[in-house]
Homo-oligomer: A and B are copies of this chain.
Amino acid sequence: MPRTLAEELASKQREISVAEFFERNRQILGFDNPLRALLTTVKEGVDNALDACEEARVLPDITVEIAKAGPDRLQVVIADNGPGILKREIPNVFGRLLYGSRFHANRQSRGQQGIGISAAVLYAGLTTARPVKIVSKVREEEAAHVLELLLDTQKNLPKVVSDDLTLWDRESGTSIALVLKAKYQRGRQSPFEYLRGTAIVNPHARLVLVEPDGTRITYERASTEVPPLPKEVAPHPYGLELGELSYRLKSAGGKSIADTLGKQFAGVTPRAVTEILARAKLSGKEAPASIHGEELEGLLAAMHAVRLLPPSAESLSPIGPILIKRGLRNVLGDVRPDFYAPPVSRPPKVRGGFPFLVEVGLVYGGGLPPDQPIQLLRFANRVPLLFQQGACAITNAVQNLDWRRYGLEQKGGAGLPTGPALLLVHVASTKIPFTSEAKEAVAEDPEVDREITLALQTAARHLKTHLSRRNRRALAQEKFDIILRILPKLAEKTSGIVGKPVPDLTPVITRIMDVVNIDGALEKGPSGLLVRADLTNYTPRARVLELFVELPAESFPTARFDPTPDGTDAELGRAWWTLPKLAPSGKTRITVTFPAATEIDASDLSWYVAGVDEAHLLGGEPLPGDWDVRLPRAVIEAAETGGEDAVLAGESEVDYDAAEARANADDDE
């Protein structure tokens, strides 16, 4: 028996198992109520499946089946076509917290902590005392292993309760079945929402959800390309702390500090090694493990002071502008938004030694609700974040931007703006700073915040341009509608009064309407996929127009253009034409043909027109200022100088070839 207070207190001290800790604090892992527990379980299972498929370079085919298993219980089965897990690793992977393969790998992945799926196993055992069932098959073996196991909370170790073999009609894959206290419900923060979000940012995955009532929802893949596997990179000295440096030098095992500096850290060139050693007053021959105290501090200061290469972006796996657009379209198809802003993919930056990048997609109009706060879809490493929106750095960045400047309503210039918009923000990093193990919110960080804000501003500027164009066009359309309705009646009445026949109004209407229209659409033809752009000159005079198209660079080499473009830039996926002069009401067509298997859609091609003022253009965009193509401005200017009536009367013919020759001569000067 303890005699004194200090002894009594000492007698109560003991080690706490990490599993006990999380059992008591299950809200930290995302298991504090039956709704959230279900979502977290599905999320951890699907994230693992996607990571495994990516590592195996296969297109993911993932099924989530949720079925009733008692009054307040559900059975969740998540199955994938990944590489499978060796039998000896199954117990630890699923039945032990803080065990995994991706924690020490310095590259982007969904699971990073070695906690997720084991936490679901812990929760299932806690609430139903039922073991989980794992089926896994690796390509090299004939049969699949079937293991039933529990997580022993006191020891944080797996307890296998059965072990068997079965036949499974797939080459490889893993499936996990858990029975847990849970509740199914559609709507915000549901597995339904999670899979919808996952489909948007993983357009290469095919996802199937079977709800407890038997409803089957399938997200077909919108891309058949497996995203490149991010590469593991050495840690970058920028942001490295003293304790970490000390550990790395001791465990490096290099024979000299010069050797270790060059090999164990990213971005350190041979020249940088020399500079670091000089600044730190080291010869370079010292044993790495022997450096300590002030010498160590001097070395770290030198590593931070010397100019290094930036961290490599190879460890990251951005979605990319084309797939962001395609993912959004695939899932938002029914909503039919008016406008997809060109997605923003920022270049990689560094935060405390870890590279990261930010991507933003913005969609506006169509069936999106106009009088509610905008929908914000947050993603981290291609995983949707559904809880803790208020605690997330992404939300903060969105709320702190003054959206009124970009055409959205926002009370007081802060908070979520209102309008028919959907905003996608993706943060990718080799280490996402989550606010807790539940991985539901990104912690505040000034550098991440700045990158998100920059990306949001770029997307918001596109929105602003779209909105002001839309307003202008709406006015033009309104004017045109009125003219079409009233002018004929007016002509009829007037003619009746003066007793003359009603005149042909078409030239007058065309003159008042005064637009060039461009109309693009995709057709499946016998020779492949056909994208056509029809241009009509509804202006009251003849025009010489330049047409420009931009398409996904990877599809460019297989594209066939008709007519042959006057210029191309294969690297940027661009082609352009100077069109034959179009008389008023004249039409012309350009076609682009792709092989049948190409993943392309009409909206992957952007059309731009020069030779007509932006105010007189419908259905296309004016050419952005950053295109470096030879514009035969002289031709267009020549066309413009002829007065409208003169052109209508066909009196002002332009010698195109001569004009181009002049323009080229100007450029060559």
Contact = CB atoms under 8 A, between A and B. Distances in A.
Interface of A: 4-7, 9-10, 12-18, 20-21, 23-25, 27-28, 32-33, 52, 55-56, 83-86, 88-89, 92-93, 96, 98-101, 103-105, 113-114, 125-129, 138-140, 153-154, 172, 181, 241-244, 246-247, 292, 296-297, 388, 390-391, 411, 431, 433-437, 441, 443-445
Given A5-B83, A25-B433, A28-B434, A13 B101 contact: yes
Contact of A391 (B10, B388, B445): B388
A83 B411 CA distance: 55
A21 B18 CA distance: 11
Given A25-B113, A114-B16, A391 B86 contact: no
Nearest to A85: B6
B13 A241 contact: no
Contacts of A28: 434-437
Contact of A128 (B17, B138, B242): B242
A478 to B, nearest CB: 34
Contacts of A24: 103, 431
Contacts of A84: 6
Contacts of A411: 411
Contacts of A241: 126-127, 181
User: How many copies of the chain does the oligomer comprise?
Assistant: 2
Contacts of A32: 433, 443-445
Contact of A18 (B98, B100, B126, B153): B98
Nearest to A70: B297
28 contacts: A4-B139, A4-B140, A5-B55, A5-B56, A6-B140, A9-B85, A9-B101, A12-B105, A13-B93, A14-B101, A15-B98, A16-B98, A16-B104, A16-B114, A21-B98, A27-B434, A28-B436, A32-B443, A126-B244, A128-B243, A129-B242, A129-B292, A153-B247, A154-B247, A181-B241, A388-B435, A390-B391, A391-B435
A103 B172 CA distance: 43
A18 B20 CA distance: 13
Contacts of A246: 129
Nearest to A105: B12
Nearest to A36: B444
B6 A138 contact: yes
A242 B126 contact: yes
A435 B433 contact: no
A139 to B, nearest CB: 7
A146 B20 CA distance: 32
A83 B10 CA distance: 11
A434 B391 CA distance: 13
Nearest to A90: B10
Contacts of A139: 4-6
Contact of A296 (B56, B129, B243): B129
A172 B7 CA distance: 13
Contacts of A25: 113, 433-434, 437
A229 to B, nearest CB: 12
A10 B85 contact: yes
Contacts of A99: 13-16
A532 B292 CA distance: 70
B129 A6 contact: no
Contacts of A125: 243
A7 B141 CA distance: 12
A48 to B, nearest CB: 12
Contacts of A27: 433-435, 443
Nearest to A153: B247
Given A129-B246, A241-B126, A10 B443 contact: no
Given A129-B243, A242-B128, A16 B100 contact: yes
Contacts of A128: 242-243
Given A6-B138, A243-B126, A435-B391, A21 B103 contact: yes
Contacts of A15: 92, 96, 98-99
A129 B245 CA distance: 9
A297 to B, nearest CB: 8
Given A9-B52, A436-B437, 4 more contacts: A6-B140, A18-B18, A127-B243, A154-B247
A154 B251 CA distance: 11
Contacts of A445: 32-33
Contacts of A436: 28, 435-437
